[in-house]
Structure 1
């Protein structure tokens, strides 16, 4: 039969839009949190972009406050637009004299600067602008001396220009007094930048809190919907798919989606904002230096493309190898008794070593790919930094850029390559989450049970226990896998409140019949009638509330015995005592320290098979069903317990329709009808005496069994 999970391969593409749609279907339920998270992302991105820009302003305006004198009367109408912008940015010292900071000359080429200098428009020397110095008697004398020597020039509004090569004329303390205005402004800028860092820290904190809440809310809803969907799937789905993988869908795979959103998608928005902002700012401030930075981009993008291809290939191999390992471990641990009985430990260990080695090699290949990628990104970063330092120094010496601009570019390059360096980790998360999301979608797209329209026939909304229990199979065909028929044209009837036994070899269709009676599978052809009504027209909940099934392998939940018996049905102390007495479970309960409140361990492993059967009979009787199904219920019971159960069965079947399947034919001799199945078809049908007289298949079963038991 087909399987929804043939193997744990990686997805064909590293990005699946259906997975993103699934994720945002739940994320968008909490739009307020999402918008708030993006607001914090915007604040973080803005702060990241603003700090280097403010650092540049601080360096150029208040630390390295160097520039040129511009003689406005020397300009002519043929100057470029960039020079016109320079004039608009320049500081007016007096009517015909302006001061232009070096960073404002970034729009001019070296040739234009030389031409302006030769014309006398720009001064040959550079000056440091001094504004509002703090005077004392000693400094006033020193300033007068500097003015007389021509290394210092005075202008209105308490402004001075000091030649850059004459800064040693003043002592450190005198320079501090001269630059007191710049020191204060630098302090204000540092405080402002510190405030941005605090804002960025606060935004990061609240972004993490908001994202964690948002992702947990969304994953909670997805986990709930997935669980509800799984419990509403057709039973055939569980026949085809391992339970462990379905559990993995609800736990690990949803956690992978959670990591995709909180670690990749939101930070991806932040990274895109930062990368776009850095690129725009660099080209806007100095396109020449920005072009220098972009020299490494083609090689960088080529490396990223190759990494994506190689990482996908490595991931696919790893998933395949892990699937092989999981399959091997599941097979070996499940069949450990067979392995030990046939002394296959060494042979299986050698197989395990081979598979484990393949997993190791696959993971090692991925490690090598990742180990190459990150250092390559660092190489490109330092290569780009080297280019900026080399060409930036050249441009600085030519006077076309400022020192602060170089510092800003270096800071932006570091911020630019940081998210690219994290790409390896994010790519791994993206691949894992995409694979997990596709598996979740596979489950969500699986067809659910077809429920009847409850209001279509109001008379079919039956009260509990209202069924009489007449069962009719009318030419029923059924298959689990198309073309492989399990039942072929089966027709029989069971009168209400009578007992019918079903016998046959393994795989003849016995368990299939009782599953169809409970409406657990849709039939392929024919009809099944209960009290003359097609079971497809009876609401499944009402149908099953009238049917109790005791399986051979009794399942008990990890709850108290009392909870396992009543199964959510209203508590009735008198009825509980009554049914435990009838099934002889009361004797068993009296031996337990906590009686009916005794905690059941997982699957009831601390109880014997007989004790679990007693509890299953008690549970069935407590529900007082109209139809009772005993599926090989006595095949694993010891002689003493079987005697107790045989007595309980005689009480159970009174007044209700009973279907009994048993390998021990002695337990069904009293059945009014016995149905003998052979390869999905009815071979014989009648009571015990009639079938024995036929000396057919039932007779052979009976004879062979009694020969074995003596």
Structure 2
């Protein structure tokens, strides 16, 4: 272990900032992996397996971190996760079985040699039959390989990819009531996957027939030829049962060899997929892309210590310019040179699943004075005061528990704390309100800010900042159209002046506003790690109850048919051997040669007939087992998916997606491929053991005296082993989820990680989580070894006592019975070993089924459809009424909404404002019943919304959320996933959203492929697609939940004007981010601490000099 494991750990701690270093690291790991995989001692096999798996994960993780953007477009996050879990697992398992490729043929050859000594040339008939069967098994392996290709490359990847997107976009699915549509889409992919499993199962059925019948067919052919070669040949008990024992020795390698060949074929597919990924083009830090996003001929030199603003319309190439500076893009021509360290803040903030402080420190040591200065400069101190644990509060995966503005400021604080030389800020100020934006510019980014001596490149749409910059770069269609100081560009009066006019149309009326539509979900912050505890309280089910759940999904009819088939098959197998025993006993008693010859033919015929019937029963058993396993796979997956989609939205905001995906990948793999195999093997072994004990006891009744205590010892060892093994397996499953979560998190933030040069630190973190997972795996293998030693010893004791009692019986037992008894006794050790092992495997792998079933026990949201349905066309007026409404996130927390009562008029435009934590987002959540009220009611057009189903409610409301979430697919499928609208309607809404020209310019127009998360569109374009999606729904009520918080002013203006024009006859609730968006509302609702402070027209509220008037005055808005 020291020879191979330690160097691997040391190698993985090298500095991985350079591409050359990473390629060198990959090569060195592969060498270690190859050397370690050659370890031959099976008692030490866990160590090479552990190292191979460790190396696989690390190589894979490194490649994902260094993958070029062009290569990254070919792989979705779900596909990469599937490669790392399923394909790497296949490679690891092959390490266990690799020695069977030579040991199985060796055992077959040795068994044939000993058979030759017993039966002479007649054994060649059996060998010929074996040789004929081998091509059949090769063909089966080839077909399994083809199926595996289809299973991995197409359906499994598609399913995991779609599932990953669904979980990341679950808020949109729930708010739009799209869960059934996407559930059907996922189930359709799953059905194709199950079809492949079915074909594989039927091939297994045929394989089982050949594997189980080969020993019988070989013995039948050999005995028949032996008998007919020479009429004087007689099958004595010695020859028969020695031969039977040798034939039984043949069974295991013949059983294993096709499986290993199939595993090799599957591993070859996995290796090919892994090779394609590992050989994909890596990132070159000096690359600059002149193709992606239309970036062309960029020539610019930026002085050290200057503040540079990059401006341009939506899709002009501003973010691509920063990516080129980072070296994140494919180079067609040109170079990028930069000096010093880099800090990068992406347009969509990347947040780690860690404490707020650790997100800011980002691996650096804590310098408290500077840390506090950074918090103050990034306007985070007021937020920390509201958090229960201050900066030690766990933010959660993807920062789901804080608002977009808070995420952006945490991301900005991380960059500032790094004290870098060059700062790349991609539209950082668009996610915060103008008041905080002004603070950030004055205290941090601007000429007198904390970063005044640093080089800063800022993408912005805030024209008021431009006079304070040293240099302005104007982007247009991927080119730098203009460059110079503010005064120089203004004097040219070209495109820059037009851009200024567009951006300042609304901005000039608004100086600052303290209203940042952020939410601090205290519930989420308290329960960020509640997933582990919530699942652990469900992890106490007994293995029997879990197996019963599986059998229920398996279908009891198929279960009883399977038991009956295998029971009859094993009874016939014993009957065959008893027939042979009777045959050899009577051979010596018949003196007449003709009668003896006829008797031999008759007995050979009966022996063959019994074998033929046994083969039919094997086919029937394997067939019904396949049917049952498919039923279980289909049922448990559907149940799991249904349970997950019915979870309330808060569960997804507090639980890592990796935890849930792990259920649909690793745990479901056990259900699909492994569990029914363990059940079948256990059933066979159980019947074998029972049959063996009956046969031996019939020959030596005293044997029962030994069986009882040995059976008790077996049972004790089994229970002792299972008690620990089950917990180890649970811990292994729980420790695998952080591996997936960390991997997914790193993929999402790879640009930020590479920009900061923190690859080495993330490699070490990856090593830690992978190594922790492998520690449990190693313990599981070692406990297996512990079990094996004890079972082998007990098995040998049983053989010893069986032989001893037969010898003590003397002449009271016939030689044929003795032979039968001893041959069974020799086999009992293997049967008992397999029986205990498979019983343990069933119990330990039942953890996967238990984990799948855990979601069924978790609290669900209210029914989607209830018996009471709203009338057709509801709501037709759009009148919303809150009546003494109270809501709280948890019973032991205070009220998030406290006695809220107000009513809107039909078609009224209502603005909702309030300071941070006032309850604005809570109000929206209650309207969509994402959060259920504790008292009071909400009435829409005369119907209490709590009395109807969630989908009847959400399907008749409309919302444009803050985060523009798109799914991989086409433009058409993102606009209309349900397929309810014609192409003409789609083009109409695209034109209304100013997207028609852009979509028409795409090669496939409406069928243009959108990548995962809409990454091949700018943020502004994504938000316009979301607006178009809302226009198609045509409901009477529209909610804008900070819909333009993360977009530039130009897109904000376009969205606002389109909404005013197209939703004039609808009730519109606007949760304000930029205060100017509610100034022309008919009425404004002012919230504070969950209560209504004011509700009136903007004019009247300004006259009262109350809370709203104060906000407007602070914002400096001219009225």
Aligned position for 2:591: 131
Aligned position for 2:843: 431
CA distance in 1 between counterparts of 2:955 and 2:554 reads 38
Cα offset, 1:689, TM superposition? 4.2
Cα shift readout 1:1-53 (whole Å, capped 9, x = no counterpart): 55454377698668434323432333337x2x444323321232113322332
Aligned position for 1:20: 547
Whether contact under 8 Å (1:7, 1:320) holds in the other structure is no
Aligned position for 2:957: 547
Match of 2:785 among 348, 356, 371: 371
Q: Say whether 1:57 aligns with 2:582.
A: yes
CA distance in 2 between counterparts of 1:274 and 1:204 reads 14
Q: Say whether 1:212 aligns with 2:672.
A: no
Aligned position for 2:998: 588
In structure 1, the gaps of 5 or more residues are 66-128, 135-180
CA distance in 2 between counterparts of 1:224 and 1:317 reads 26
Cα offset, 1:470, TM superposition? 1.2
CA distance in 1 between counterparts of 2:865 and 2:962 reads 34
Aligned position for 2:1038: 628
Q: Which aligned pairs between 1:574-585 and structure 2 lie closer than 5 A?
A: 574-585=984-995
Cα offset, 1:532, TM superposition? 3.4
Q: Say whether 1:271 aligns with 2:685.
A: yes
Q: Say whether 1:360 aligns with 2:769.
A: no
Match of 2:1027 among 600, 604, 617: 617
Q: Say whether 1:421 aligns with 2:833.
A: yes
Q: Which aligned pairs between 1:203-602 and structure 2 lie closer than 5 A?
A: 203-258=617-672, 262-289=676-703, 291=705, 296-322=710-736, 325=739, 349-396=763-810, 399-423=811-835, 425-451=837-863, 461-464=870-873, 466-484=875-893, 485-568=895-978, 570-602=980-1012
CA distance in 2 between counterparts of 1:16 and 1:387 reads 33
Cα offset, 1:463, TM superposition? 1.8
Whether contact under 8 Å (1:11, 1:434) holds in the other structure is no
Whether contact under 8 Å (2:688, 2:831) holds in the other structure is no
CA distance in 2 between counterparts of 1:302 and 1:574 reads 72
Partner SS for 2:533 = coil
Cα offset, 1:609, TM superposition? 1.4
How has the CA–CA distance of structure 1 residues 35 and 340 changed in structure 2, closer, same or farther, with 3 Å as cutoff? Answer: same
CA distance in 2 between counterparts of 1:461 and 1:355 reads 51
CA distance in 2 between counterparts of 1:598 and 1:454 reads 38
In structure 2, the gaps of 5 or more residues are 1-522
Whether contact under 8 Å (2:961, 2:1040) holds in the other structure is yes
How has the CA–CA distance of structure 1 residues 14 and 308 changed in structure 2, closer, same or farther, with 3 Å as cutoff? Answer: farther
Aligned position for 2:1086: 676
Farther-moved stretch of structure 1 (301-310 vs 628-637): 301-310
So what's the TM-score if we normalise by structure 1? 0.73
CA distance in 2 between counterparts of 1:301 and 1:540 reads 52
How has the CA–CA distance of structure 1 residues 528 and 36 changed in structure 2, closer, same or farther, with 3 Å as cutoff? Answer: same
Cα shift readout 1:371-421 (whole Å, capped 9, x = no counterpart): 13224323332333234334433433xx22222222211222244333321
CA distance in 1 between counterparts of 2:875 and 2:591 reads 100
CA distance in 2 between counterparts of 1:9 and 1:384 reads 41
Whether contact under 8 Å (1:52, 1:412) holds in the other structure is no
Cα offset, 1:704, TM superposition? 5.6
Which of structures 1 and 2 has the bigger CA Rg?
1
CA distance in 2 between counterparts of 1:601 and 1:287 reads 72
Whether contact under 8 Å (2:973, 2:979) holds in the other structure is no
How has the CA–CA distance of structure 1 residues 575 and 292 changed in structure 2, closer, same or farther, with 3 Å as cutoff? Answer: closer
Whether contact under 8 Å (1:4, 1:442) holds in the other structure is no
Partner SS for 1:480 = coil
Farther-moved stretch of structure 1 (611-620 vs 426-435): 426-435
CA distance in 1 between counterparts of 2:658 and 2:739 reads 15
How has the CA–CA distance of structure 1 residues 261 and 182 changed in structure 2, closer, same or farther, with 3 Å as cutoff? Answer: farther
Cα shift readout 1:89-143 (whole Å, capped 9, x = no counterpart): xxxxxxxxxxxxxxxxxxxxxxxxxxxxxxxxxxxxxxxx452147xxxxxxxxx
CA distance in 2 between counterparts of 1:289 and 1:187 reads 35
CA distance in 1 between counterparts of 2:611 and 2:565 reads 13
Cα offset, 1:513, TM superposition? 1.3
Partner SS for 1:481 = coil
How has the CA–CA distance of structure 1 residues 344 and 299 changed in structure 2, closer, same or farther, with 3 Å as cutoff? Answer: same
Whether contact under 8 Å (1:589, 1:595) holds in the other structure is yes
CA distance in 2 between counterparts of 1:571 and 1:28 reads 41
How has the CA–CA distance of structure 1 residues 190 and 304 changed in structure 2, closer, same or farther, with 3 Å as cutoff? Answer: farther
Aligned position for 2:1067: 657
Farther-moved stretch of structure 1 (518-527 vs 250-259): 250-259
Cα offset, 1:475, TM superposition? 2.0
Cα offset, 1:660, TM superposition? 0.9
How has the CA–CA distance of structure 1 residues 323 and 542 changed in structure 2, closer, same or farther, with 3 Å as cutoff? Answer: closer
Cα offset, 1:628, TM superposition? 0.9
Q: Which aligned pairs between 1:77-96 and structure 2 lie closer than 5 A?
A: none
Q: Which aligned pairs between 1:133-148 and structure 2 lie closer than 5 A?
A: 133=593
How has the CA–CA distance of structure 1 residues 354 and 579 changed in structure 2, closer, same or farther, with 3 Å as cutoff? Answer: closer
CA distance in 2 between counterparts of 1:466 and 1:357 reads 56
Farther-moved stretch of structure 1 (405-414 vs 433-442): 433-442
So what's the TM-score if we normalise by structure 2? 0.48
Q: Say whether 1:645 aligns with 2:645.
A: no
Aligned position for 1:38: 563
Whether contact under 8 Å (1:256, 1:432) holds in the other structure is no
Whether contact under 8 Å (2:864, 2:951) holds in the other structure is no
Whether contact under 8 Å (1:473, 1:490) holds in the other structure is yes
CA distance in 2 between counterparts of 1:575 and 1:371 reads 66
Aligned-residue Cα RMSD (Å) equals: 3.5
Whether contact under 8 Å (1:9, 1:316) holds in the other structure is no
How has the CA–CA distance of structure 1 residues 483 and 631 changed in structure 2, closer, same or farther, with 3 Å as cutoff? Answer: same
Partner SS for 2:702 = helix
CA distance in 2 between counterparts of 1:645 and 1:17 reads 58
CA distance in 2 between counterparts of 1:622 and 1:324 reads 40
How has the CA–CA distance of structure 1 residues 130 and 533 changed in structure 2, closer, same or farther, with 3 Å as cutoff? Answer: closer
Cα offset, 1:605, TM superposition? 1.8
